[in-house]
Amino acid sequence: MLSAEKIDAKTCLSVVRIKGMMTSILVSLLLFPLVSACTESEHSSEGVNGHRIVLADREPGNWLSHGRTYDEQRYSPLSEINEDNINRLGLTWKYDFDTHRGLEATPLVVDGMMYVTGSWSRVYALDATNGRLIWQYDPEVPPEWAVNACCDVVNRGVALWNGAVYVGALDGRLIALNAKDGGVLWSVQTTPTDRPYTITGAPRVVTGKVIIGNGGAEMGVRGFVSAYDAGDGDLLWRFYTVPGNPEEPFESPALEMAAETWIGGKWWEHGGGGTVWDSMAYDADLDLLYIGVGNGSPWSRQLRSPGGGDNLFLSSIVALRPDTGEYVWHYQTSPGDSWDYTATQHMILADLSIDGAVRQVIMQAPKNGFFYVLDRKTGEFISAEPFVPVTWATHVDPDSGRAAVRPEAYYGYTIFDGRPSPFGAHTWHPMSYNPNTGLVYIPAIDSNFPYKLEEAFEFLELGVNVGIDGAAAAWPVDPDIRKAIRQSMKGSLIAWDPVAQKPAWTVEHKTSWNGGVVSTAKNLVFQGNGEGNLVAYSADSGRELWSFNAQTGIAAAPITYRVDGEQYVAVLAGWGGTMPLVQGGALTHAANKNVSRILVFKLDGEESLPALPVVEKPLDPPENTASEEVIERGMVLYHRTCFACHGDTAVSGGVIPDLRFTSRATHKLWDKVVLEGLLKSGGMVSFSRILDKADSYAIQAYVIKRAHDAKSELSKAQNNGRG
């Protein structure tokens, strides 16, 4: 008889299908050894493997891989919690992280254990029934590496395979841990350490290979995805997403083809971008691995490829052979991407009935605002319609499948009012496809952005290199205008019908940066939001059924799992990530101190959260002695160098220090912090490579001015309050 571990996922899948089709006693007898081997492995002591993930619906209590199943539907068949009893859902345990930065991870749960990542790529193994810490692992990412992260020191989760836990660390390492005790099994550096690469995405494991991408296109890197042997960490293949110097040999025929779409310029000198920083999916039947490719570096095509061209494989979905990394097909969502319109967003595989035929599709709602349905076997375009208002393209041509880009969208030195913004119409926040309703639930954003080339763009060796005029893109400082802009930015949960290509229902949120989604068999959709609530809705109508105040903004996606017959709902609550850093005050109603926690709920859960500590922030800036010219120069330098972490116009989102509240004592140490790295242990490295003493002084003068602005706004508000 075949042993369980010798039967691969495809064999088990075929067995299940054949068994479903044929019921004769003879066939059942013939298949018996295979069937029992497939079943036995559900409780294999070796842990998660390929056929457990392919057959994940046979153990719905577990959440074995990032999207629960290889098709990444994030739909749970669990049914104990339903519309009738959800009012009994209560907190049953919480786990407080020891960090206060952004949380974006999806926890995995197998056989009563939860494996999850917090900020700084730290890994935690917890008892999934009560939150007891079994082990934790800190990869000790150097804090100064944070300057290479465009979008906070976040991590979106681990992968499990044959008794190991895999995590991608912010500094580019891929680490395998023993699932039992967190001991390091192996660790490899997946990225060049002399370039600003980061890893924030969750690895996937398919056919014994750990697949991992990376980020860094905002800084200047060349994107690629790699496969490592899950057993020993050997590099098996690497697929680059953009061509290198055409004078040198191409790594693959696919790149030779891609190079035809880059015209003029020397994009390879700083990498060209195209990072695979988040989404992947896998079809075991078709033996295809799908990767989502990110934006160009710098953002504008004019700076990379001044002669035009599509710049493949930027902003594309690419299908690869998982065993070799060989290219099979691609579909580009944003030709000649100039808007940070990544196609790294969540990809979902499903079988849909379209025009009377069942189609095997891949679906994506990338940053560019269109919802795409493609044939996942061939990459053939099926349909695309905008799910939010868009200004960069008029439509996607139904015959060619190509976006009709408005010529003015390829902006120059005058502002193009782009919609969506670089935050996307939808970014990494996971969606969910519910086969019962046939709907895809999209955490959507509607916002615009003034795209304008930076005058005399020069590539800097530290920090952000997007080639955008950051000062022009900053919000005006007038508090009333800021408020109006914030109100014009909309966040919503859209239940999208992928066949009809239109919304079935929409819930409008009060903030634009909201959480990922899970849906269940019992007509439930769970989503956290920027206001700090975890909410359950009816999957078919969007009616609000239940909510819980988490005391802090939620961006991560919930999961649901079952242990000993009891169903749980879990979510990571904690503010951070791109928008909260850049556009301060996106969070309007949540905590004044970021709290980072895992929250877990079950029916009749009786726990509650302690009251939040109130943090008083004194606003006591020194006198401003600098000239108007110096302050103006500081404003420009600030928006080139500092805004990505400390927020535009020096208004922080509450995760990273708001510089306006810098004390007089700290102002005396300003140059030591900015030029000498006094606070590098907190992630604030020395910027002496790109700023001199006069620059540092100018930025300080601008920050002091903004502190005085805030002080006068505050006293005006207090006077109004008295009046």
User: Which residues form the catalytic set?
Assistant: 340
Question: Shortest approach of Ca ion to residue 556 CB, angstroms?
Answer: 19
- Inter-residue contact 597 to 119 (CB < 8 Å): no
Give the H or E element holding residue 483. Answer: helix 479-488
Question: Shortest approach of Ca ion to residue 296 CB, angstroms?
Answer: 9
Of 167, 127, 103, nearest in space to 561 by CA: 127
Non-local (6+) Cβ contacts of 326 within 8 A are 252, 320
Q: Looking at beta carbons only, is 63 or 428 nearer to Ca ion?
A: 428
What angle, 0 to 180 degrees and rounded to 10, lies between the N-to-C axes of helices 693-722 and 628-641? 100
557, two tokens: 């996606």
Question: Shortest approach of Ca ion to residue 339 CB, angstroms?
Answer: 10
Q: Residue 591: beta bridge partners? A: none
Question: Shortest approach of Ca ion to residue 149 CB, angstroms?
Answer: 12
Q: Looking at beta carbons only, is 278 or 340 nearer to Ca ion?
A: 340
- Inter-residue contact 176 to 115 (CB < 8 Å): no
Question: Shortest approach of Ca ion to residue 415 CB, angstroms?
Answer: 20
Instruction: Report the relative pairing of strands 75-76 and 517-520 from DSSP bridges.
Output: parallel
Q: Looking at beta carbons only, is 195 or 321 nearer to Ca ion?
A: 195
Question: Shortest approach of Ca ion to residue 359 CB, angstroms?
Answer: 31
- Cis ω on the peptide bond leading into residue 313 (within 30° of 0)? yes
- Choose one: 53-61, 340-348, 550-558, 661-669; the region binding Ca ion (CB under 5 A): 340-348
The vertex-84 CA angle with 609 and 435, nearest 5°, equals 100
DSSP string, 315-337: TEEEEE-TTT--EEEEEESSTT-
49, amino acid identity: N
Question: Shortest approach of Ca ion to residue 340 CB, angstroms?
Answer: 5
- Choose one: 17-25, 239-247, 287-295, 568-576; the region binding Ca ion (CB under 5 A): 287-295
350, two tokens: 């499903």
Of 431, 68, 70, 38, nearest in space to 283 by CA: 70
Q: Looking at beta carbons only, is 299 or 505 nearer to Ca ion?
A: 299
Non-local (6+) Cβ contacts of 40 within 8 A are 4
Q: Looking at beta carbons only, is 429 or 705 nearer to Ca ion?
A: 429
Q: Looking at beta carbons only, is 153 or 631 nearer to Ca ion?
A: 153
Provide Rg for the chain, Cα atoms: 25
Residue 182 CA to its chain's centroid (Å) = 25
What angle, 0 to 180 degrees and rounded to 10, lies between the N-to-C axes of helices 9-21 and 25-40? 150
DSSP state for residue 218 in the 8-state scheme: T
The vertex-529 CA angle with 114 and 105, nearest 5°, equals 30
DSSP string, 122-161: -EEEEETTT--EEEEE-----GGGGGG-TT-S-----EEE
- Binding track over 232-271 against Ca ion, x by CB under 5 A: ----------------------------------------
Question: Shortest approach of Ca ion to residue 148 CB, angstroms?
Answer: 13
DSSP state for residue 638 in the 8-state scheme: H
Q: Looking at beta carbons only, is 215 or 634 nearer to Ca ion?
A: 215
152 contacts Ca ion (rule: CB under 5 A): no
340 contacts Ca ion (rule: CB under 5 A): yes
Question: Shortest approach of Ca ion to residue 337 CB, angstroms?
Answer: 10
Q: Looking at beta carbons only, is 340 or 709 nearer to Ca ion?
A: 340
Residue 591 DSSP SS3: coil
Q: Looking at beta carbons only, is 343 or 535 nearer to Ca ion?
A: 343
- Choose one: 288-296, 330-338, 501-509, 658-666; the region binding Ca ion (CB under 5 A): 288-296
Question: Shortest approach of Ca ion to residue 198 CB, angstroms?
Answer: 12
Terminal CA-to-CA distance of the chain, rounded, Å?
A: 86
314, two tokens: 């930027």
Distance CA 343, CA 337 (A): 10
Q: Looking at beta carbons only, is 297 or 652 nearer to Ca ion?
A: 297
Give the H or E element holding residue 494. Answer: strand 490-497
Q: How far is CA 34 from CA 13, 44, 206, in A?
A: 11, 15, 21
Q: Looking at beta carbons only, is 213 or 503 nearer to Ca ion?
A: 213
Cβ-based burial of 390 (10 A; exposed 0-12, middle 13-18, buried ≥19) = buried
Task: Tell which positions 485-504 bind Ca ion, by CB under 5 A.
Answer: none
Question: Shortest approach of Ca ion to residue 574 CB, angstroms?
Answer: 22
- Choose one: 53-61, 332-340, 600-608, 634-642; the region binding Ca ion (CB under 5 A): 332-340
Non-local (6+) Cβ contacts of 251 within 8 A are 238, 240, 244
- Binding track over 294-313 against Ca ion, x by CB under 5 A: -x------------------
Q: Looking at beta carbons only, is 428 or 537 nearer to Ca ion?
A: 428
Q: How many residues touch Ca ion (CB under 5 A)?
A: 2
648 contacts Ca ion (rule: CB under 5 A): no
- Choose one: 26-34, 306-314, 334-342, 349-357; the region binding Ca ion (CB under 5 A): 334-342
Instruction: Report the relative pairing of strands 559-563 and 544-549 from DSSP bridges.
Output: unpaired
Place of tokens 């039947």: 285
415 phi/psi in degrees, rounded to 5: -70, 130
Question: Shortest approach of Ca ion to residue 342 CB, angstroms?
Answer: 5
Binding residues vs Ca ion (CB under 5 A): 295, 340
